[in-house]
Amino acid sequence: NRLPVASVFLQPAQDIRIGGRGSSALYQYTIQSDSAKELAHWGPILLNALRRLPGFQDVNSDQQNGGRDEYLTYDRTTAAKLGLTVQSLDTALYNAFGQAEVSLIHTQLNQYYVVLEVAPPYFQSPENFSDVYPASSAPIGNIPLFAVATSQSNTIPLAINHTGLFPSVTVSFNLAPGMSLSDATTRITDMQRQLGMPTSIQGFYSGTLLGYQQSLSTMPLLVLTALLAVYIVLGILYENLVHPITIISTLPSAGVGAMLALTIGNSDLNVISIIGIVLLIGIVKKNAIMMIDFALQAERQEGKGTADAIFEACMLRFRPILMTTMCALFGALPLALGTGTGSELRRPLGISIVGGLIVSQLLTLYTTPVLYLAFDRLRLRMKGEKPDVFHHGAEPA
């Protein structure tokens, strides 16, 4: 059976929820102002504008203006003539609707408050004020409330939400399949500009959408910091300023693979997928490390040339490189397949790792030796020496 006054919605529970209000959708956009009247006017306009935007679903607002306010005005002159005071009028209303505690009953095990109020049917409508008869001090009996008071009905919000001490309205929404977060933020910004909201109203993202924006703004610094840390550690390890660049050069292929996998898998670039890309920085570079470490050892201990050393490294270290990559890939495969409760959150992590590993495995086996030889020849030319010639002398494992 359908309930005409109820709205039912389903929402997957997130393992990680980033701030925001409890709402019926995943993403949130908030406007705030120092004027509640402005929010009452612009809140429904923003809600309807978002509902008209393509790619947005389940658009709702926490603004609830369906409350009813009943304002009573006393005629003090008439009340005084009839032997009524403001206090007697207030007492009559409080006894009827205020749930006054008039007595306390004690038993051997507990105590119970006696609450005075009208019957529940009298709470349903303001018209029931006509059944309230304040006690008069004049010898004329009880006087109807509406004989000395007038009633005025108003529509008010059921609740006024605040963000940062200011009244606010939060609109929550979900995205249709194929709609990315970056496109959603661009459309919301353009939509607010077209609405022409006054400067006294400020709009900003909240919850998961705010976390996504913050992660995008800090991602370049995070990646550069990780690359700098990797470069410093590898430079100390190899006592060389060039070989760390060769190893770091394998990372772009992992990033390209992760982005391609997210596109093919119809998954968004969100906070979780960014974490997967950062993890690839530590996983993918081991391919180049295994080759370069073996080649440097062959050059320094066996006296081989650069070309022969890197060729032998590629032949002998191919199997360990393939095995370690496959272990990491199959470890991330359950995340990418997206099975089980809450798999929607972990799936972008697995997709980005699997895609980055596959593409980097295919490319780094070719790009690492080429860059290794190119940097070595550049070093020799800067010294005025002649690059060595490759001799096919290595045997495969």
Q: How do residues 92-132 score in pLDDT, each as one tens digit?
A: 888 888 888 889 999 888 999 998 888 888 877 788 888 88
Element spanning 240, H or E: none
| pLDDT tens readout for residues 300-334 | 888 888 888 888 888 888 898 889 889 989 988 88
- 339 sits in which H/E element: none
Asked if 140 contacts 97 with a C-beta cutoff of 8 angstroms, the reply is: no
pLDDT for res 111: 92
Please give the biggest Cα pair distance in the chain: 125
Check if the beta carbon of residue 284 is closer than 8 Å to that of residue 356: yes
> Apex CA 363: angle with CA 361 and CA 364, to 5°?
70
pLDDT, residue 20, reads 55
pLDDT of residue 397: 39
Mean pLDDT of the chain: 82
* Entry pTM: 0.57
Helices 251-264, 271-284: inter-axial angle, 10-degree rounding: 140
150 to 79, 127, 135, 321: CA distances (angstroms): 12, 11, 18, 86
Both tokens of residue 195? 């609405």
395 pLDDT band (50/70/90 cuts)?
very low
Predicted local confidence at residue 377, as pLDDT:
84
Q: Are 227 and 245 in contact (CB under 8 A)?
A: no
- Give, in order, the Cα–Cα distances in Å from 392 to each of 305, 315, 375, 387: 11, 11, 20, 16
Q: Looking at residues 152-180, what average pLDDT do you find?
A: 82
pLDDT recorded at residue 22: 62
> Which stretch of 17-21, 102-106, 143-147 has the lowest confidence by average pLDDT?
17-21
pLDDT at 394: 45
pLDDT of residue 4: 62
Cβ(32)–Cβ(201) under 8 Å?
yes
> Which DSSP state fits 267?
-
Mean pLDDT of 15-41: 75
Q: Using DSSP, state whether 21 is helix, strand or coil.
A: coil
- Counting residues of the chain whose pLDDT is more than 90, the rounded percentage is 5
User: Which one has a higher pLDDT value, 156 or 171?
Assistant: 171
Question: In whole angstroms, what separates CA 202 from the centre of its chain?
Answer: 20
Tokens standing for residue 231: 């470069």
Comparing CA positions, the residue from 253, 233, 229 lying closest to residue 243 is 233
Q: What percent of the chain has pLDDT over 70?
A: 89
Q: Kindly report, residue by residue over 332-373, the tens digit of the pLDDT.
A: 888 888 777 667 778 888 899 999 999 988 888 888 888 888
Q: What single string gives the DSSP state of each residue in 350-372?
A: HHHHHHHHHHHHHHHHHHHHHHH
